[in-house]
A and B are shown apart, each in its own frame.
Chain A
Amino acid sequence: TQLLEQSPQFLSIQEGENLTVYCNSSSVFSSLQWYRQEPGEGPVLLVTVVTGGEVKKLKRLTFQFGDARKDSSLHITAAQTGDTGLYLCAGPPTSGTYKYIFGTGTRLKVLA
């Protein structure tokens, strides 16, 4: 069974600080997706990482896919209050299944 564990579970920081969220698995994934869920809304895709070692940047957010494609990280530089939300990593369905695998989530609160 494929599992994705995220750390930390909760994070409360001041505006302007940097932070990193981790998504780890013992299984290899063909790609990993990161979603952000804001209060009262459904998760929205931020990025998909596909190649081992890949780094993708989305403004102040930097996503990295591990070389072995078993882990990923999300780094936020100079966090803003608008970054507050639940961050989820997710793996796509493997061949023969139709289940996305979701991480346990990291709830981020950025204080003004």
Chain B
Amino acid sequence: EAQVTQNPRYLITVTGKKLTVTCSQNMNHEYMSWYRQDPGLGLRQIYYSMNVEVTDKGDVPEGYKVSRKEKRNFPLILESPSPNQTSLYFCASSLMREQTPLHFGNGTRLTVT
């Protein structure tokens, strides 16, 4: 089954404790992206990747890191999480051809206390 898998689904952590949210897709998509979703602010892009070893900042990259060492994986790293990073995070992938859709994971709800 074609899918984007994120782990964990839920995560509660404390300020400053490094964490990684994993994302993996099995559709051989070149494009992968991370979003955060907050009430009243919609989906905001954090980072994206056009292919292996090619990443770039989205609209809200501060406090996040990403890597794309393999085509299927695109982990999101929070080196020193802060409470303002409490949010619902989505990973998505796409073929990046005209009119192709984004395929989203089921989300990771992160709480930083």
Check A80 for interface membership: any CB of B closer than 8 A: no
Interface Cβ pair total, 8 Å cutoff: 53
> What is the chain A residue whose CB lies nearest that of B92?
A42
Q: Which secondary structure characterizes the binding site on chain A?
A: loop
The answer to whether A42 and B107 touch across the interface, beta carbons within 8 angstroms, is: yes
Check B11 for interface membership: any CB of A closer than 8 A: no
Residues of B within 8 A of A42 (CB): 4, 90, 92, 104-107
Check A45 for interface membership: any CB of B closer than 8 A: yes
Bitwise interface map of A from 36 to 54 toward B, beta carbon under 8 Å scored 1, else 0: 0000111111001010000
Q: How large is the interface on A (under 10, 10 to 19, 20 to 34, 35 or more residues)?
A: 20 to 34
Residues of A within 8 A of B102 (CB): 35, 43, 45, 90, 100
Please count how many residues in chain B sit with their CB below 8 Å of the partner chain's CB atoms: 22
Residues of A within 8 A of B31 (CB): 98
The answer to whether B56 and A43 touch across the interface, beta carbons within 8 angstroms, is: no
**Which residues from chain B sit less than 8 Å from chain A, CB to CB?**
4, 31, 33, 42-43, 45, 48, 50, 56, 58-59, 90, 92, 96, 98-99, 101-102, 104-107
Write 15 A-B pairs (CB below 8 A) sorted by A numbering. A30-B98, A31-B99, A40-B106, A42-B4, A42-B90, A44-B104, A45-B101, A90-B102, A92-B99, A98-B31, A98-B33, A98-B50, A98-B56, A99-B58, A102-B43
